[in-house]
Amino acid sequence: MTDTQWPIFEVFHQQTRGEPHVHVGSVHAVDAETALLMAKEQFARRQACVNIWVVAADDITATPYEDADIFEHGTDKSYREAFGYQTTKRAKAVGDTEEI
């Protein structure tokens, strides 16, 4: 008899206010409310926690790993990074000796 194979809910917990919610695992539960109960027992039993989210796993849309190349940078993108600029040297040259 099938009575333990409930839907899967992914669990996200927040350790302290101000921190992001982090994915910590998943639980089986009949509905979201029960999933919160299960998640509290499973993931907030030991470590600090102030808030939990549960999301039905079926409701998550994700990129496939085999398409990970969509995240690769085709060209030099250093112009969008702080390290892409020699500005400290240039600022000194114009008389700015403070940290930029």
Output the smallest distance, CB 41 to another protein, in A. 7
Output the smallest distance, CB 33 to another protein, in A. 9
Nearer to another protein, 14 or 42 (CB): 42
**Using CA atoms, how far apart are residues 12 and 24, in angstroms rounded to an integer?**
6
Report the amino acid identity of residue 14: Q
Q: How many of the other CB atoms lie within 10 Å of CB of 39?
A: 25
Nearer to another protein, 25 or 84 (CB): 25
Rounded to an integer, what is the distance from CA 50 to the centroid of its chain? 17
Nearer to another protein, 14 or 34 (CB): 34
DSSP-derived 3-state class of residue 28: strand
**Using CA atoms, how far apart are residues 29 and 35, in angstroms rounded to an integer?**
5
Output the smallest distance, CB 72 to another protein, in A. 15
Residues that bind another protein (CB under 8 A): 2-6, 8, 10, 24-28, 30-31, 34, 41-42, 45-47, 57-58, 60, 62, 64-66
Nearer to another protein, 31 or 96 (CB): 31
C-alpha R_g of the chain:
23
